Amino acid sequence: MINAGIIGSTGYAGQELVRLLLEHKDVEIKWVTSNTYLNKTYNKAYGSYFRIFDQECISDNDFENLIDEIDVLFTATPHGLSAALINKEILQKVKVIDLSADFRLKDKDTYKVWYGLEHASPELLEEAVYGLSEINKVDIKKAQLIANPGCYPTCSTLSLFPLLKEDIIDETSIIIDAKSGVSGAGRANNVSSLYCEVNESTKAYGVAAHRHTPEIEEQMSYIANKDIKISFTPHLIPINRGMLTTSYATLKKKKTYNEIKELYEQYYKEEYFVRVLDEGVYPETRWVEGSNFIDINFKIDERTNRIIVISAIDNLVKGAAGQAVQNMNLMFGLPENTGLKQIPLFP
């Protein structure tokens, strides 16, 4: 049995972790923290857990006293906090999977530019393994510290991975148009996330400045083995959860649909959570909601010699908590789909 602790359990990603881990046959949640719901039972934060999960939430400050009770620590915290909490002593005792951005970028100066914070544990950046499960599986299995990817980078990178790896697209031509549900903004009280502010509206945000941009660029650069810069524009759409990315890139040489389809099938044939759809069927957020799947498909625009790749995930599952559990499974030698076989919810 894997004993788990969760710091920041009452945010949306933290709640999704609780839901998935409670259904995982090899995991027991030993404790959860929440400063907002300190000393209150978990079902006071989420009524859906009434008579299901009644543990009292402890303070973030108490977790070090309980570290010996667990095997894995999940940190679902605001950016900056995980780096301040995690140190080498903790990593000698437990495996850590961080759902914030604190360990995703390898350069502390880049982190400071995009997040406006001095990194509290720069000495751990090199040790952290980027937890994009389908790409970094070998390193994840050996890791002590996982930087769980962001939702936009997960959706974007997996959708373009085969094309970048095989040098099929002009890397200077990549444009990513992304759309996310409101849960991506978190549970904190924020005017821009209020019902009246988002309902019946769609808007671009973080234009040419979104914090996930350097993360996407860094991972794509590793894949292509060359420096990559992208144009990335996220949009907020009035749904609770779900993410759709539409990526555009110029093909270096003429390719047929079947040639590209064979490439995607080759790269993802062993990947349980990657579903490459049939020709002419394009991903929709409703077909992945509540699941750890990513759906991918593409269209070649012969008129412009561009390929259009569309992908969809649940931003709270494959884009956050589900991928964290997938990483945990790999770290502890379990089949990576253990506890993650939920069929997408519809309607």
Catalytic residue set: 151
Q: Are strands 243-250 and 274-276 parallel, antiparallel or unpaired?
A: unpaired
Is 145:127 a contact under the CB 8 Å cutoff? yes
Q: Residue 345 and residue 289: Cα distance in Å, rounded?
A: 6
- Give 75's strand partners: 7, 98
Query: Max CA-CA distance within the chain?
Result: 63
Alpha helices in 26-150 (DSSP H): 81-85, 88-91, 108-115, 137-142
Cβ atoms 251, 300 nearer than 8 A: yes
Q: Residue by residue, what is the 3-state secondary structure of 317-328?
A: HHHHHHHHHHHH
d(CA 5, CA 115): 26
The total number of residues shown for the chain amounts to 347
Please spell the DSSP secondary structure of 139-185, one letter per residue.
Answer: HHHH-SEEEPPPHHHHHHHHHHHHHHHTT-B-GGG-EEEEEE-GGGG
Q: Facing residues of 249 across strands?
A: 307
The answer for residues whose C-beta is within 8 angstroms of residue 229's C-beta and 6 or more apart is: 172, 217
Q: Would the CA dihedral through 187, 192, 197, 198 be positive or negative? A: negative
C-alpha–C-alpha distance, residues 89 and 97, integer Å: 15
Is the distance from CB of 247 to CB of 296 less than 8 angstroms?
A: no
Q: Rounded distance, CA 84 to CA 80, Å?
A: 7
CB 208: neighbour CB atoms within 10 A? 9
Contact call for residues 318 and 252 (beta carbons, < 8 A): no
